[in-house]
Amino acid sequence: MKWDRQIPISWLNIQGYCEYKLFLREVKGIRPAVLTIVNEGIIAHEEIQIAHEKIAKELEEPIEDIIKKIPKGEHETISLSEFNVCSKKWGLIGRIDNIHILRGCVAIYDFKPGPKVSWGAQRQLKAYALAFKEQFHWDKEINIAVSSYAGKGDDWDPTQNVIWDKWYTSEDESEVIAIVQRLRGCFEGKRKFQPTSKPGKCKTCEYRDICSMNLINNSQCINDRKTIEDHNNAIELERKNNSSACYTRGVINSKTGNFLKAIEDFSGELDLSPNDKFGYFERGNAYKSLKEYPEAIDDYNKTVFLDPNFGPAYHNRGLVYYDIQNYQNAIKDFTKTLEMHTNEWKSHPCMIYIHHGVSYLQVYDNQKRNNIKNVVRTLSQNPREAYITRGKTYVKIGEYGKAIEDFSRVIQYDPTFFRDFILRGHANLLLKNYRKAIDDYNTAIKLNPNAANAYRFRGHALQSINRIDEAEADRKKYEFLKKQPIHGEKEESAVS
């Protein structure tokens, strides 16, 4: 069922608090009594609006024309209150508390009680910026900020009460788009509305007495494996200080593919240790495995916020951006990963591994997290994985020369992997370097005579230089190999 309604931007703030709350409110239509703190917020907004109206002037021409003129110096800068924005492309609609439109930038303010600024509130502001940028074709910088109305007086000024701000980036835009797509999936029945994993939120929620997901009233299902039971007992005995047991159980659940349980465990660990970058990183990996991309990006963002030098988070966030086809941001993260490789990864107290598409950490921290086994390939000693993923991303955006450079670096590390030659051959083929492509496919076939895609693409290259008979022979070889139960192309899907 396609869901065509516009999404109020304020829903992103609610989603950040508890997505299931949207289900109760918008799907079930339940409207409990408004909490006191919400009423206080409504009153504060009304008072600010009344004060603004006392000094406001009527616009002498359409706002669209004014916004076009301000950057050119053809109109004075303006400040607007309760400013409506919409994004037709993404189906967003919202009302900005206050916006300052200047020559070189726009400043968007949202009023909150403070002193803390939630992730949901930040996402709400990012969505305002996305909608404004699209609606008015704004190509200059946008600053987004939360201003506290706590203790405001008659001369309250949002620019003097800022408690959080940042410059809007392409990463922020991607984050908003991913969240909007997730919400549409929820309302269309393709995804489940996820309840919060934090009991503290349930305790203060206006739905707490009627919500079946209330963590205060409902016990969680536990895995009956002995290892998990052991950690359950440890958590019950030392709940206040035993975040390590939550973390370890989460890792085990991730390794066994029980990602929803793993998310619960890492969330429990983060409740006890809210500044643990490893907890956010591992929970992000679990979300990534479930293709819950907004949540994965959110956790990777928190990881690098806590530790800007944590290379694995950049790499895995790059993989998420690649999956959602945000190739520019993927390249930025893969490049950051490679820049940090020499100085950071080898000296960092962790090693990153790739295992069936899921990343795991092995951390040596007073034996706190030392039970992760069965790992396959390390990136800490060899950055080939980052070069491969960045090279594939360059191919996606048509930067074939840069892709060839990355695949060549990979081959320098180890020239025995046939698939690496297929990757470089494919980039050469797209760049119309047909003879170089043929050389790469020849090497791949020499390393693995059953590499079906090597014959397939070598045939394309041969046909491009009018070696028709050879091209036809390769086509037939490819058709034969792809019918075989094992044809050596398992790792070649990126070039298909």
Average pLDDT by consecutive 10-residue portion of the chain (496 residues)? 83 90 88 54 55 65 92 90 92 92 92 81 94 94 85 59 88 89 88 82 82 66 47 54 75 84 88 86 92 91 89 89 87 84 41 32 34 31 74 89 90 86 93 93 92 92 93 91 60 43
Number of H helices, E strands in the chain: 20, 9
Residue at token pair 């074939």: 400
Homologous superfamily (CATH) of 219-381 is: Tetratricopeptide repeat domain (1.25.40.10)
The Cα–Cα gap between 143 and 133 comes to 12
pLDDT tens digits, one per residue of 264-295: 889 888 888 888 899 999 999 999 988 888 99
Q: What pLDDT is recorded for position 343?
A: 46
The Cα–Cα gap between 415 and 438 comes to 16
Cα-to-chain-centroid distance, residue 127: 15
Q: Are 390 and 334 in contact, with CB atoms under 8 Å apart?
A: yes
Domain ranges of the chain: 8-185, 219-381, 418-495
Q: What pLDDT is recorded for position 68?
A: 93
Q: What pLDDT is recorded for position 355?
A: 30
Residue at token pair 């392409």: 170
- The single-letter code of the amino acid at 224 is D
pLDDT tens digits, one per residue of 380-426: 335 777 888 889 888 988 889 999 998 998 898 778 889 899 999 99
- The single-letter code of the amino acid at 480 is F
Q: What pLDDT is recorded for position 123?
A: 93
Q: What pLDDT is recorded for position 424?
A: 94
**If you write DSSP's letter for every residue of 55-109 in order, what string do you get?**
H----SS-HHHHHHHGGGTSS--EEEEEEEEEETTTTEEEEEEEEEE-SSEEEEE
Q: What is the pTM of this model?
A: 0.47
The Cα–Cα gap between 305 and 302 comes to 5
Is 1.10.1740.10 the CATH classification of the domain at 8-185? no
DSSP reduced 3-state for 188: coil
Q: Let me know if the fold of 8-185 is the same as that of 219-381.
A: no
Q: What pLDDT is recorded for position 198?
A: 78
Q: What pLDDT is recorded for position 303?
A: 92
Secondary structure E strands in 140-293? 141-148, 162-167
Homologous superfamily (CATH) of 418-495 is: Tetratricopeptide repeat domain (1.25.40.10)
By DSSP bridging, strand 141-148 and strand 92-101 are: unpaired
Q: How far apart, in Å, do the first and last CA atoms of the chain sit?
A: 32
- Structure tokens that stand for 429 in this block: 């083929």
The Cα–Cα gap between 463 and 443 comes to 19
